[in-house]
Amino acid sequence: MIGGSLAAALRQADAVGRFTGFDRDRERGARAQTLGIVDDLAVDPSDAVAGADLVILAVPVRANQMVCAAIAETLAPSALVTDVGSTKFEVVAAAEAELPDASRFCGAHPLAGSERSGPDAANRDLFRGRLCILTPTARTAAATLAACQALWQAVGARVICMDAARHDAALAWVSHLPHAVAFALAAAVGAVADEVSGLSGGGFADTTRVAASDVTMWRDVFLANRAGLLAALDGLGDELAALRRAVHDGDAAAIETLIGRANAGRRRVMG
């Protein structure tokens, strides 16, 4: 979805020439070609990047290391390499370790997307008005950063730069934790599905929307940001324990306080 959306958006912006795609899943690759998202299909990552000016890695975050190693030999020295992963510290470290010229890589995370995945979910307007976080390091060339900024601005994103570790610590709270919570909630309610089927409304639908997300993508996000996610899970655990205690004790004032803090917290986070 993200890779396809970026390809479609760059084409729409007339910012690229010919696109070569590679997907581990051949059917998905063929579908992207049928939809006109990519012009050509490569047989492997190494073949895909041969002669490319720009390489976009749009794979589950833990696959980036393998892909970077696989493309290192055929990558043109002048090629710009970037990614779209939801975690950054491990991805950036892997790319800088595996690619022949770390100065030509810059990590990127567009805050866009949904629970959907695959080329049929691609949307060339996906990044319009959305934030894209770049995570350059001391090794990133200024020209690489500038090119990466121009790329995301061309598809309508607002670009900011951030340290990769800080990115992961922050996104653990506002993205990885909500996904973890939605997964746990959907799994817990799913266990009593026979008793509640047909009785759910908008609250359940929205609170668990992201629980329909891709297994491999989110398995990798959780594994690549273990410390950040564990800290966020513990913060949530404290709130849930306090709420459970208040409900158990019939403590109206404590429940009101927690809901009031939730109202205010959501407003502060969403700005």
Give the tokens for residue 218. 């989110």
Taking the C-alpha atoms of residue 123 and residue 13, their distance in angstroms, rounded to an integer, is 13
The structure tokens 């059917």 sit at 27
At 76, give phi and psi (nearest 5°).
-70, 140
Tell me, by CB under 8 A, how many residues bind a second copy. Answer: 89
The interface region with a second copy, picked from 16-24, 63-71, 76-84, 209-217 by CB under 8 A, is: 209-217
- Work out whether 138 is an interface residue with a second copy (CB under 8 A): no
**Nearest CB to a second copy, comparing residues 105 and 127:** 127
- Work out whether 24 is an interface residue with a second copy (CB under 8 A): no
- Work out whether 63 is an interface residue with a second copy (CB under 8 A): no
Minimum CB separation of residue 253 from a second copy in Å reads 9
Give the bridge partners for 56, in sequence order: 82
Taking the C-alpha atoms of residue 111 and residue 175, their distance in angstroms, rounded to an integer, is 9
Residues in region 166-185 near a second copy by CB under 8 A? 169-171, 173-175, 177-185
Query: Which candidate, 180, 172, 144, 21, places its Cα nearest to that of 86?
Result: 172
Angle, vertex CA 69, rays to CA 117 and CA 132, nearest 5:
45
**Nearest CB to a second copy, comparing residues 77 and 202:** 202
**Nearest CB to a second copy, comparing residues 39 and 251:** 251
Minimum CB separation of residue 93 from a second copy in Å reads 17
160 membership: H or E segment, kind and range: strand 158-161
**Nearest CB to a second copy, comparing residues 20 and 207:** 207
- Work out whether 161 is an interface residue with a second copy (CB under 8 A): no
**What's the one-letter identity of residue 262?**
A
Please pick, from the candidates 2, 133, 157, 164, the single residue that binds a second copy as defined by CB under 8 A: 133
